[in-house]
Amino acid sequence: MSKVWLVTGASRGLGREIARAALDAGETVVATARSADAVRDAFAGEHHRLHALALDITDARAATSVAAETVERFGAIDVLVNNAGYAELGFFETFTDAAVRRQFEVNLFGTMNVARAVAPHMRQRRSGLIVTISSVSGLVSNGGGAVYSASKFAVEGWMEGFAQELAPMGVRSLLVEPGMLRTEFMDRKSARFGSIDIPDYAEAIAQYRAFVDGANGNQPGDPKLLAARIVALASQGEVPSRLVFGDDARQWAGAKVDQLRQEITRSAERG
């Protein structure tokens, strides 16, 4: 039986690929972005089961309105894909307070807005799947990614607990933690850099910017493969709580787990 998907950030990148994979699987997709026209342009009318709506996820009322409109029109939201977000990439002290808060406003509080709008419907039906697009940066943080990682660490902690609250009512959850994907995520439309000039960091920042510029467009992960995995998992009765996607993500996450084990052991030894 066909499902109804609500996908945020669907005009580009991974969100677009997830929406396309769901459509190819015969699903109905309500695809959102800040501009509905951007969604329509991304799909160029290729699917009659695609329905584009405008949604700025930082607007809680708009999120509630989109969820209500989707349920009224299609009768259900079977799968929510909380995908919309962006990255503040750079050294922490080079960001203004406003930039840091904006990162959390979108990646954490915006994601919460959409989940809060959809969860009551899923609870009422005792059915549904919430797919939250996090990142391996929600498990591992590195220099140059502190602010972005902070927002994704927060998403991880919130969703890990929220999933346990929803599970007794039949609502499932999947946290997706990709490594580096070949999307537009690292270009200037999705990634932003700090604006405060600090000479002590100048050389390290230049090296980091060169890394980002070199990696953009050359990332090892295939977003189409990840999208297909997510759509396939959504059709199963049971889903894992997490999907760590990509050799790079598994390597980094595995190294973090090993590090934590060692630190836990040392903590015990020191009393």
The Cα 115–Cα 126 span in angstroms is 15
Inter-residue contact 83 to 107 (CB < 8 Å): no
Inter-residue contact 217 to 100 (CB < 8 Å): no
pLDDT at position 133: 98
Neighbours of 186 (CB within 10 A): 22
- Higher-confidence residue of 60 and 87: namely 60
pLDDT at position 234: 97
pLDDT at position 220: 53
Tell me the pLDDT tens digit for each residue of 23-78. Answer: 999 999 999 999 999 999 999 876 789 999 999 999 999 999 999 999 999 999 99
pLDDT at position 194: 83
Looking at residues 138-164, what average pLDDT do you find?
97
Q: Reply yes or no on whether the pLDDT at 99 is more than 80.
A: yes
Collapse the DSSP code of 11 into the 3-class scheme (helix H, G, I; strand E, B; otherwise coil) and give the result: coil
Q: Give the residue numbers annotated as catalytic, written as ranges.
A: 134, 148, 152
Tell me the pLDDT tens digit for each residue of 100-148. Answer: 999 999 999 999 999 999 999 999 999 999 999 999 999 999 999 999 9
Inter-residue contact 118 to 6 (CB < 8 Å): yes
The Cα 128–Cα 252 span in angstroms is 31
Give the chain's largest Cα–Cα span: 64
Name the residue range of residue 48's domain.
4-269
In which band, very low, low, confident or very high, does the pLDDT at 183 lie, cut at 50, 70 and 90? low
Inter-residue contact 204 to 91 (CB < 8 Å): yes
The Cα 156–Cα 222 span in angstroms is 23
Q: How many domains does the chain have?
A: 1
Which pair of structure tokens corresponds to residue 6?
A: 């609500």
Query: Mean pLDDT for the chain?
Result: 92
Collapse the DSSP code of 191 into the 3-class scheme (helix H, G, I; strand E, B; otherwise coil) and give the result: strand
Collapse the DSSP code of 12 into the 3-class scheme (helix H, G, I; strand E, B; otherwise coil) and give the result: coil
Report CA Rg, the chain: 19
CA contacts within 13 A on the Cβ side of 11? 18
Least confident stretch, 157-171, 199-213, 251-265: 199-213
Tell me the pLDDT tens digit for each residue of 207-264. Answer: 888 877 766 666 656 899 999 999 999 999 899 999 999 999 999 999 999 999 999 9
User: Which CATH number is 265's domain given?
Assistant: 3.40.50.720
pLDDT at position 44: 86
Determine which helix (DSSP H) or strand (DSSP E) holds 79, and give its type and residue range.
strand 79-82
The Cα 208–Cα 35 span in angstroms is 32
